[in-house]
């Protein structure tokens, strides 16, 4: 092996490794992911000699309600999915029809990238919680679903015990709610859409009647579909530095062989 061949081997080994580190660095800093909300606790810890805050984010608790098909469903059954939630009631004469229409437009804009066949995005699920569950029976929810042509496989309209639904809205999702706008002061009435990631962490609140806010929601939703699960570890996690050392040792070994080969000849 001559000197030019040795340099070629070294470049062939080093360049892909260098390119990987550059791309990895750029990907980590270029895109601002949707921020987290609702911290449960913040603890100061030392990592690599630096003091940083380690935040435990609130995880939305499981629930069990009934959907428009009369089926009992749970949040646990949506494991690994991104969720967009809103709040309505079928006798609402004001904002609810518009909220449902905007949610439907959003649902129809989300697909899995396939050109033909079933284009439903299986990573995203929509939920509309009734804030009038005592009057919103399964039949009423089915009427609303049929009116807006809602796909129950992708979008649930939920009813159940009023106390449990209101506890979820106020204590779990921390919705900045107001009363029924003069219609019924017992109602938690809000136009907010809530974005929940696959780990059940709240990642955004958006006004469902605001076109700019809905545009931001669409953008954040796309970003979340590309976000790496912090709990999932790839084969290369923690091994890149070791791989770099191995490559350098290999290059050094090739250099030694070349040196002894030339000395011998």
What is residue 22's predicted lDDT score, i.e. its pLDDT?
64
DSSP state of 113: S
| pLDDT at 85 (0 to 100) | 98
Q: Alpha-carbon distance 155 to 206, whole Å?
A: 18
Please name which of 182, 207, 222, 169 lies closest in space to residue 61, comparing C-alpha atoms.
169
For residue 70, CA distances in Å to 18, 109, 158, 177 come to: 56, 27, 9, 28
Residue 182 has a pLDDT of 47
> Collapsing DSSP states into helix, strand and coil, what is residue 67?
coil
The CATH architecture one would assign to domain 56-226 is 3-Layer(aba) Sandwich (3.40)
Helix, coil or strand: residue 115: coil
**Global confidence as pTM:** 0.74
**Per-position pLDDT tens, the chain of length 265:** 556 665 666 666 666 666 666 656 655 555 789 999 999 998 887 777 788 888 999 999 999 999 999 999 999 999 999 999 999 999 998 899 999 999 999 999 887 656 555 666 789 999 999 999 999 999 999 999 999 999 999 999 999 999 999 999 999 999 866 544 444 555 677 899 999 999 999 999 999 999 999 999 999 999 999 887 655 555 455 555 666 566 666 666 666 666 666 666 6
In degrees and rounded to multiples of 5, residue 230 shows phi and psi of -65, -20
Domain boundaries, the chain: 56-226
């Amino acid at each position: 092996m001559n000197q030019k061949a040795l340099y070629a081997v070294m470049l062939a080994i080093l360049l892909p490794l260098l390119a990987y580190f550059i791309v990895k660095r750029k990907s980590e800093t270029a895109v601002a992911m949707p921020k987290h909300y609702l911290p449960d606790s913040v603890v100061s810890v030392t990592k690599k000699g630096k003091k940083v805050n380690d935040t435990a984010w609130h995880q939305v608790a499981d629930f069990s309600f009934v959907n428009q098909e009369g089926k009992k469903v749970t949040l646990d059954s949506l494991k690994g999915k991104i969720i967009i939630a809103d709040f309505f009631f079928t006798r609402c004469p004001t904002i609810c029809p518009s909220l449902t229409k905007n949610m439907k437009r959003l649902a129809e804009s989300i697909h899995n990238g396939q050109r033909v066949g079933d284009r439903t995005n299986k990573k995203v699920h929509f939920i509309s919680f009734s804030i009038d569950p005592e009057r919103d029976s399964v039949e009423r929810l089915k009427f609303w679903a049929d009116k807006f042509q809602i796909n129950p496989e992708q979008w649930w309209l939920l009813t159940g015990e009023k106390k449990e639904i209101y506890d979820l809205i106020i204590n779990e999702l921390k919705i900045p709610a107001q009363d029924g706008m003069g219609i019924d002061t017992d109602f938690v009435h809000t136009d907010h859409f809530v974005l929940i990631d696959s780990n059940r962490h709240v990642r955004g609140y958006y006004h469902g009647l605001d076109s700019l806010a809905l545009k931001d929601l669409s953008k954040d939703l796309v970003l979340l579909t590309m976000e790496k699960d912090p709990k999932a570890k790839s084969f290369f996690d923690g091994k890149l530095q070791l791989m770099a050392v191995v490559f350098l040792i290999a290059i050094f070994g090739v250099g030694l062989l070349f040196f002894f080969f030339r000395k011998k000849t």
